Amino acid sequence: MKYMALIYSAPDSSPNFGTPEFGSLMSAYQAVTERFAKDGVLVAGDALEAPSTATTVSVRNGRTETLDGPFAESKEQLGGFYIFDCANLDDAIRYAAMIPTATYGRVEVRPIRNLANML
């Protein structure tokens, strides 16, 4: 089954770009991504640009509307994701706990619904 790990953190909680701590964080991400690939559970994963770059889209009465920024204001911001292919939720949680941001942010794990099986 596929699971998405959504990576959240508060804006001021992670190391600043260009610092040695940021370099260590990126090295930890590289190592854990390699581990996920080696274990055969990695489907996809990436970092996201800042929430200020988001565009929120909705369609009302056949008309497309856009808003700058994320839909919801939140203390913690979505910063990236992984998609795992694991045997069960316990395995997905074990891999999500390896994500470096889990030590100062949060990682939400959700099963991905297979809509093809529902048709």
Tens digit of pLDDT at every position of the chain (119 positions): 999 999 999 988 989 889 999 999 999 999 999 999 999 999 999 999 988 899 989 999 999 999 887 776 677 899 999 999 999 999 999 999 999 999 999 999 999 998 887 77
Whether 45 contacts 83, CB under 8 Å? yes
According to the model, what pLDDT value does residue 51 have? 87
Q: How far is CA 38 from CA 51, 73, 99, 106, in A?
A: 31, 37, 15, 24
Q: Could you give the CA distance from residue 83 to residue 2 in angstroms, rounded to a whole number?
A: 7
Residue 30's identity, in one-letter code, is Q
Enumerate domains of the chain plus CATH numbers: 2-114 (3.30.70.1060)
According to the model, what pLDDT value does residue 117 have? 77
According to the model, what pLDDT value does residue 114 have? 87
According to the model, what pLDDT value does residue 69 have? 78
Q: Could you give the CA distance from residue 15 to residue 61 in angstroms, rounded to a whole number?
A: 44
According to the model, what pLDDT value does residue 86 have? 98
User: pTM of the full predicted structure?
Assistant: 0.88
According to the model, what pLDDT value does residue 31 have? 98
